[in-house]
Amino acid sequence: MSNPLSSYTEANFQTLEWNEHIRLRPGMYIGKSGDGSTPDDGLYVLIKEVIDNSVDEFAMGHGKVIAVTIRDNEISVRDYGRGIPFGKVIDAANKMNTGAKYDNKSFQKAVGLNGVGLKAVNATSTMFYIESFREGKSRFGKFSKGILLEEGTTQADEKDGTLVKFTPDPVLFPNYTINTEFVQEMMRHYAYLNKGLKMQLNGNEYVSKNGLLDLVLESMAEETLYPPIHLTGKDIEMVITHTNETGESIMSFANGQNTSQGGTHLSVFREAVARTIKEFYKKDFEPSDIRQSIVGAISIRLIEPKFANQTKTILDSRDTGPDGPTLRSFISDFVKEHLDNYLHKNPETADILLKKIVENEKERKAVGVVRKKAKENARKISLHNRKLRDCRIHFTDKSEKAEQTMLFITEGDSASGSITKSRNPNIQAVFSLRGKPENTYGMTKQVVYTNDEFNLLQAALNIEEDLDNLRYNKIIIATDADPDGMHIRMLLLSFFLQFFPELVRHGHIYILQTPLFRVRNKKETRYCYTEQEREKAVRELGPDPEITRFKGLGEISPDEFKEFIGDNIRLDMVRLDKDDRLPELLRFYMGDNSPQRREFIVNNLRMVGD
């Protein structure tokens, strides 16, 4: 028998250069690579990493304009701050753990902390150019995949600041397209969180006079019950109001970073708002009754924030506040003092808020008995055995891997069976529907508990009480691309929009794209999602290729399914624009107006092959 030590020697070890490691394991630095079809794709992390540096300059009082240009997959970011000291321009781009933000004197309350972000952009780009302008001179460096190609110092008739240009590597981001709508949303966030900063994207300007209030108002698709409460202080800003929508929607930000997965500051803020309101009314309300239908945001700035991941979507700071006190006491004290004062000074708002809380309390008690029976029923039906094929990692783990978790909602044994056999069991779960779900339009939330399918679905998602323990980051509706499949899709979307709209607003609901055609010859197989892709494949693969039209998910074999739910997965995020009004949307698509809906479909949709 061979000696096992002989196959494990020094030759098995490798030492990678900094750029090689980033390119080999990009997920450690920018999350998932993706093709740009969803706003959490790594492409947008790259853009954000560059802009963050410019925003940090503004936060220190240098440069009021940041110009971003996107042309043919080349991204350019120009700020008018101090410019990088010439002796460190190259190091800032290609030497890991090198930056000025370890020194709080130079960058206080910045979002970039580890000296990694710009290097990740450099390593994952086929072209990366950085130039610093200072006092009529410039220092530049040109790279490819992290390798320095050219550097120099020249005279420059330019205002002080920094220019960064880069083109993401299509090898790491296959078939990518940069969706400027996602970047526009990023620009708005930067402007709203940094009053006085002018963000420019391809010539369009974004600026805010009212800060976080503007952001909350723009993101809302429902009228408020009372004027939003907007409170500001040193290093903290908050907004809260209530609507008639169900659920809770509170955005959170730390040092200008959108902490989409929340963290310490959001948890403390939610607790502080509920506690302050209870004390103001001197009533022992349930926190859930206070937060039901609440819309708001919290933004803080603190020295050396601790994030749970490199993409900075979770704030993990627990001890230190902006200037000494603990983060918990800093937020709690601010909310207690300023929210309490506001309610005392605005009795009309206080009366409306009280009425809403009492209504929420009555509704909760009305469904209380039903909810208890529903939970018992969910246990009896053995959710984990019959309906849900769970994954090993969950969104509640609050890790970078947890951000990749997803639940496929599908209908039919064959489709769910194919996905189950093809999935990555670490991060992908499957929930199998039994037939078409009920149309919930016009119903109360009791249907969530009385309907077995919906009751089991919310149990699988773990959202009976609130979204704090949501088990999967992406909830993916996977139905056939035929009339029945589209109908199921609309029924599920109506369910989420009516009872859990915050899942949509926080970017958790997606539609799975699956190929309509398989085109292949003896050497190559291509999967096509549109007629145009099919026609292109036929032209390029030569004469008489075999063409298969998939009629449903159940016809796609498990081996083939791996192509569509793995690295090459195509997802459409379900989004609500600020002008979308949920009651009108639900009434049009799911209400009793069949003639108008049919006319809309005929005028706006074409079946494949037309």
* Three-state SS letters, 128-170: EEEEEEECCEEEEEEEECCEEEEEEEEECCCCCEEEEEEEECC
Contact status, residue 295 vs residue 220, Cβ threshold 8 Å:
yes
Q: How many residues does the chain have?
A: 610
pLDDT-wise least confident of 413-417, 478-482, 596-600, 602-606: 602-606
* Topology adopted by domain 19-206: Heat Shock Protein 90 (3.30.565)
79-83, 279-283, 571-575, 604-608: segment of lowest average pLDDT:
604-608
Query: What letters, b where the CB count within 10 A reaches 16 and e where it falls short, cover 289-310?
Result: bbbbbbbbbbbbbbbebbbbbb
Token pair, residue 218, equals 């723009």
Separation of alpha carbons 37 and 562, rounded Å: 19
Q: Which residue ranges does the chain devote to CATH 3.30.230.10?
A: 212-364
Count other C-beta atoms under 10 Å from residue 15's C-beta: 6
The tokens describing 500, both together, are 């859990």
Say if residue 514 is exposed, middle or buried (CB neighbours under 10 Å; 0-12, 13-18, 19+): buried
- The CA distance from 372 to 367, in Å, is 9
CA nearest 415: which of 464, 484, 327? 484
Cβ neighbours for 495, distance < 8 A, ≥ 6 positions apart: 437, 440, 454
Residues of the chain with CATH 3.30.565.10: 19-206
CA distance 199 to 64: 9
Buried b (16+ CB within 10 A) or exposed e, 107-140: bbbbbbbebbbbbbbbbbbebbbbbbbbeeebbb
Q: How far is CA 34 from the centre of its chain?
A: 13
Q: Looking at 108-117, 199-208, 219-228, 453-462, which range is the least confident one?
A: 108-117
- Whether 321 has a pLDDT exceeding 80, the answer reads no
368-514+551-578: CATH topology? Rossmann fold (3.40.50)
Mean pLDDT of the chain: 83
Q: Where are the domain boundaries for CATH 3.40.50.670 in the chain? A: 368-514+551-578
pLDDT at 583: 59
In whole angstroms, give the CA distance from residue 177 to residue 561: 23
Nearest to 77 by CA among 36, 110, 49: 49
Q: Is the model's pTM score more than 0.85?
A: no
Q: For 351-390, write each residue's pLDDT tens digit.
A: 999 999 999 998 888 776 666 666 666 655 544 446 889 9
**DSSP H/E element including 68:** strand 65-71
> pLDDT class for 50, splitting at 50, 70, 90?
very high
CATH topology of domain 212-364: Ribosomal Protein S5; domain 2 (3.30.230)
Closest CA to 113 of 392, 319, 315: 315
Task: Give the position of tokens 């909830």.
Answer: 475
pLDDT digits (tens, 9 = 90+) for 411-470: 877 778 888 889 999 999 999 888 788 888 777 778 887 888 888 898 899 887 777 789
Contact call for residues 208 and 195 (beta carbons, < 8 A): yes
The confidence band for 497, taking pLDDT boundaries of 50, 70 and 90, is confident
In what side-by-side order are the strands of the sheet with 388-389?
Answer: 388-389, 428-433, 406-411, 474-478, 509-513, 570-573
Distance CA 500, CA 454 (A): 12
Q: What's the pLDDT score for residue 232? A: 93
pLDDT in tens, 156-195: 899 999 999 999 999 999 889 999 989 998 999 899 988 8
Confidence of residue 595 (pLDDT cuts 50, 70, 90): low
